[in-house]
Amino acid sequence: MIETHGLSKNYRSCGALRALSLKVPEGSAFALVGANGAGKTTVIKILMNLIQATSGTARVFGVDSRQLSPQQFRRIGYVSENQELPGRLTVSGYLNYLRPFYPDWDVALEREILQRFKLPGDRKINELSHGMRVKMALTCALSYRPKLLVLDEPFSGLDSLVRDEFMAGLAEQAGDMTVLISSHDLSEVEGFATDVAFVESGRLLFQEPLEALTDRVQQIKVTVERQSALPRTTPDTWIDLHETGNVLTFVDTQFSEFDLGERIRSQIEGVRDIEVQPMSLRAIFTSISRATRHVQE
Amino acid sequence: MIWHIFKKDLELMWRPILAVASIQLAVVVIQLRLESVNDSAVLQQLSQVLLWLWLMASTILAITVVHQDAVPSTKQDWLTRPVRRIDLLVEKILFVFLMVQGPSIATDLVQGFANGFGTRQTIAATLARAIIVFLALTLPALALGSVTESVTEAVVLVLVAFFGVFSFTMIAIGVAGGYGHQFDPTDFTGEGWLTNALRFLLIFIGGVFALLFQYQARKTKHTRILLGSTLLVLLFSQFIPWKPVFAVQKAFSPAPALGNSVAITWQMQPDADRRTSYSQGRTENRLFIPLSVTGLPTDTLLKADKSEVSISDQHGVRLYIGTGEDVEIRNDAGKQSLSYKQTIQVPPHIFQTFEHQAVSANITYSMTLFKLQSSYALRATQDNQRMPGWGLCRSRINENETAIEVSCMQIGKGPTCASVFLEHIPSGDRNPENTACYPDYSPFEDRPIPDVMTRFRLVLPFRDISGLTKYPVDATRLAESKIIIRMYEPQDHFTRIVASPLWSMRDSASGN
């Protein structure tokens, strides 16, 4: 559905993206996560042909993103936190304007979404609150049942109630569409995403199905008999190490239950207890980001 | 989808469109009022203010229309919609042409028809003006709108451009050595329209290319460079050489052989005619060049569009290069030979250094031969007449009762050259002729403001308040007099070279 290869974008001397290669499988809810300024929006803007990459390629529906035509845009829905809608048109006025551009526009669906989001049709867009405007943008993106929905930080500035409404509306309509969602707030995509990609400083750290990720990355708490027994060096796959008294906590990025005890004991002497804790996406992201920054420093 | 986008823009922009149209209407109403209330300074000023307001408002409106779907932005919703960019561009051009220029086109048509001008003439003049306004105003505004996201940004860009033009002009003046230098050789000549046509062509090419490039590639920086380059080429267009321009004008001659018989030669002045007085301290010294013109057909008027003068010493070393003053010779009586003294101004240092030396002059004349096309007679007072090729005129006595005022209007381009006089019909007595020649060989009116009409006024005095001048046709004879208008039209353009024998500048100088 979406594929990028060696995508780089430089703003003067600053590299916003560095050889980023990404693959969004069809039918997935793909979360592109990373801190602010990591390069998520840049990737999406290149994919939507809003900006052009310095090097590398990006393909959407198998088409070079620089060549995206109305034919492709009829199948793409795009919602961004700072999308500029024609503010002096009313909600209904703008929907009326958009309708003829999409042969698959579903008026019944449009009404249903409007009702769900309680969007006042006669209100001018620039009189809507930020949250209402994002809902409006989502309505404009969902009403023609796009094959690909691209959401760029859609939750920024939204209160939790609106976020929930947004996500509920999205989940309801998602069906078999592919969703690419970028966010720095991982708790919002955790229950929704099927795949996840981490972007840090313009680089893709990894991408994989969320389930595989949460299986692979686990927090390990090791209690040793004496404090002096803690190791000076640890495997590279152990990140975010913390030491409190005789308890060592770390994140194992290649966790496997198989021979776990042996592997830990080979590194740490006098292991008294090993506790494995599954991690939330947010915790995984935080640990990996911290570790990456630590390595870069 | 063009019409669909058009309707959206109309819904968003109808209020400012109405406001700009109102200003345009006010300008036309004032122009109409000015035709009946002559010399109303307040109305004149108001008209000027409104005209500038209309120009500014139209430009801003055109820019704002483009900004409804801003191109440089990465946030605009339309960018990720199935909108064909070429459709959007066509819509913007169409919208601005119809909605911003439309009211102006409509008022031009109404004025033409209301004043009784023919359908074909009215439509042709209106269309010509619409194209000129489009090239001079609308297209640059559209291009500017396509590389900006807000009016403020556009204004900043315009200010930068103005600063660039100002700096360029100042540098050019500095290099040329003073404000008095004329850069564009076609300024104040009938050929000026060719330079303007070239500029319009450059604007068209630059503007269309910039719009197509920007809408297709959305490379704002590159498009801005392209527009800046177009502006630079436009600035350099003022250094266009005269000869190719005149050659093009020659190719447009309606009667290319008419001037073949015309010859101009240097005519040595008899001693009695020599004018030797001159004064020190003047910035220029005037030389009177004695010319003899033969072969000028009857009822023609010969005018020099430019006379390029070169003065050399007896060894052929060039001392001075410049241009001579106007030459205008009329042959109503069918004379075989006519004499004329052309004025040439030379800088004092040249004159003072070489005044006693033998010098020779070489003058290249780029000339236009006008032929009498029509003669019209208008009652001296209270007449209202339509004259083909000349326009609609009204005669009346002025407030001081010293002259007849003839107020005329023509749709599109006005007449170029005429001699006008008061004639007492029973006796054939005439007042001195008033020759008005403002050569403009353009096939269309290339001045886009204030409207499609060309208005002009002729003043024919019949009484001198001081009593110093007595007119053959005075107030007592006006009832039996007519205004005779003899209209000349350019027919042939050609070059003649006059080479003088050795002569002394002092012998033909005046410094009064």
Element (H, E) at B323: strand B318-323
CB contact under 8 A, A98 and B81: yes
Q: Is residue B367 part of a domain?
A: no
Res B280 pLDDT > 70: no
In this prediction, residue A230 carries a pLDDT of 65
CB contact under 8 A, B75 and A45: no
Tokens of B369: 């031969």
B82, closest residue in chain A (CA to CA): A70
Q: Which chain A residues are within 8 Å of B3, Cβ to Cβ?
A: none
A62 interface with B at CB cutoff 8 Å: no
Lowest-pLDDT range, A12-16, A124-128, B97-101, B318-322?
Answer: A12-16
Cβ atoms B240, B185 nearer than 8 A: yes
Please report which confidence band the pLDDT of residue B316 belongs to, taking 50, 70 and 90 as the band edges.
confident
CB contact under 8 A, A50 and B79: yes
Please give the residue range of the domain that contains residue B331: 263-271+284-361+498-509
In this prediction, residue B254 carries a pLDDT of 92
Residues B400 and B444 in one domain: yes
A140 interface with B at CB cutoff 8 Å: yes
In this prediction, residue B509 carries a pLDDT of 61
In this prediction, residue B279 carries a pLDDT of 44
Q: Which chain A residues are within 8 Å of B1, Cβ to Cβ?
A: 100-101
A73 interface with B at CB cutoff 8 Å: yes
CB contact under 8 A, B80 and A73: yes
The predicted model gives B158-186 an average pLDDT of 82
A227 interface with B at CB cutoff 8 Å: no
A81, closest residue in chain B (CA to CA): B75
Q: Which chain A residues are within 8 Å of B4, Cβ to Cβ?
A: 97, 100
Residues B352 and B377 in one domain: no
Q: Identify the residue whose tokens are 């004018």.
A: B275
Please report which confidence band the pLDDT of residue B510 belongs to, taking 50, 70 and 90 as the band edges.
low
Q: Is residue B252 part of a domain?
A: no
Q: Is residue B248 part of a domain?
A: no
Q: Which chain B residues are within 8 Å of A74, Cβ to Cβ?
A: 82
Q: Which chain A residues are within 8 Å of B83, Cβ to Cβ?
A: 70, 73, 101
Please report which confidence band the pLDDT of residue B276 belongs to, taking 50, 70 and 90 as the band edges.
very low
In this prediction, residue B36 carries a pLDDT of 67
Res B286 pLDDT > 60: yes
The predicted model gives B50-62 an average pLDDT of 93
In this prediction, residue B512 carries a pLDDT of 39
pLDDT in tens, B189-218: 899 999 999 999 999 999 999 999 999 999
Contacts of B400 (CB under 8 A, 6+ apart): B465
Q: Min CA distance, B46 vs chain A (Å)?
A: 34
A70, closest residue in chain B (CA to CA): B82
Q: Is residue B48 part of a domain?
A: yes
Res B281 pLDDT > 80: no
Q: Identify the residue whose tokens are 């809003």.
A: A50
A48 interface with B at CB cutoff 8 Å: yes
Mean pLDDT score across all residues of chain B? 88
CB contact under 8 A, B81 and A73: yes
Lowest-pLDDT range, A283-287, B328-332, B401-405?
Answer: A283-287
How many domains does the structure of chain B reveal? 3
Q: In this prediction, what percent of chain B has a pLDDT beyond 90?
A: 54
Q: Is residue B250 part of a domain?
A: no
Mean pLDDT score across all residues of chain A? 86
Contacts of A78 (CB under 8 A, 6+ apart): A48, A141, A149, A150, A151, A152, B80
Residues B456 and B471 in one domain: yes
A93 vs B11, B76, B82: nearest CB: B11
Q: In this prediction, what percent of chain A has a pLDDT beyond 70?
A: 96
Residues B174 and B293 in one domain: no
**Mutation site, A50, A96, A140, interface B, largest B CB count within 10 A:** A50
Q: Which chain B residues are within 8 Å of A50, Cβ to Cβ?
A: 74, 79-80
CB contact under 8 A, A102 and B82: yes
Residues B391 and B335 in one domain: no
pLDDT in tens, A209-223: 988 888 888 898 888
B4 interface with A at CB cutoff 8 Å: yes
Q: Which of B434, B512, B418 is nearest to B473 (CA)?
A: B434
CB contact under 8 A, B82 and A45: no
Res A50 pLDDT > 80: yes
pLDDT in tens, B374-397: 999 999 888 889 998 899 998 989
More confident residue, B173 or A150: A150
Distance separating alpha carbons of residues B446 and B194, to the nearest angstrom: 10
pLDDT in tens, A162-180: 777 777 777 776 777 899 9
Residues B90 and B234 in one domain: yes
pLDDT in tens, B336-388: 889 888 888 888 888 878 878 888 889 999 999 999 999 999 998 888 899 98
**Mutation site, B5, B74, B219, interface A, largest A CB count within 10 A:** B74
A:B CB pairs within 8 Å: 51
Cβ atoms B147, B227 nearer than 8 A: yes
Cα distances (Å, whole numbers) of residue B90 to B140, B208, B211, B478: 15, 11, 10, 59
Q: Identify the residue whose tokens are 């200003």.
A: B23
A95, closest residue in chain B (CA to CA): B8
**Mutation site, A72, A81, A84, interface B, largest B CB count within 10 A:** A84
Q: Is residue B276 part of a domain?
A: no
A101 vs B70, B79, B83: nearest CB: B83
Residues B489 and B503 in one domain: no
Residues B137 and B15 in one domain: yes
E strand spans, chain A: 2-11, 14-24, 29-33, 55-60, 63-64, 76-80, 148-152, 178-183, 195-200, 203-209, 218-224, 238-244, 247-252, 271-278
**CB-count exposure of residue B433 (10 Å: 0-12, 13-18, 19+):** middle
Q: Min CA distance, B127 vs chain A (Å)?
A: 33
CB contact under 8 A, B12 and A88: yes
Cβ atoms B404, B462 nearer than 8 A: yes
Contacts of B35 (CB under 8 A, 6+ apart): B407, B409, B455
Please report which confidence band the pLDDT of residue B511 belongs to, taking 50, 70 and 90 as the band edges.
very low
The interface residues of chain B toward chain A in range 251-290, judged by CB-CB distance below 8 A, are none
Q: Min CA distance, B223 vs chain A (Å)?
A: 15
Residues B219 and B300 in one domain: no
Residues B170 and B235 in one domain: yes
Residues B55 and B192 in one domain: yes
B2 interface with A at CB cutoff 8 Å: no
B75 vs A83, A93, A100: nearest CB: A83
Please report which confidence band the pLDDT of residue B178 belongs to, taking 50, 70 and 90 as the band edges.
low
Q: Is residue B277 part of a domain?
A: no
Q: Is residue B144 part of a domain?
A: yes
The interface residues of chain A toward chain B in range 96-125, judged by CB-CB distance below 8 A, are 97-98, 100-102
Neighbours of A201 (CB within 10 A): 18
pLDDT in tens, B453-497: 888 888 999 998 888 888 999 888 898 999 999 999 999 999 999
Tokens of B97: 């042409």
A79, closest residue in chain B (CA to CA): B77
In this prediction, residue B325 carries a pLDDT of 87
Residues B145 and B41 in one domain: yes
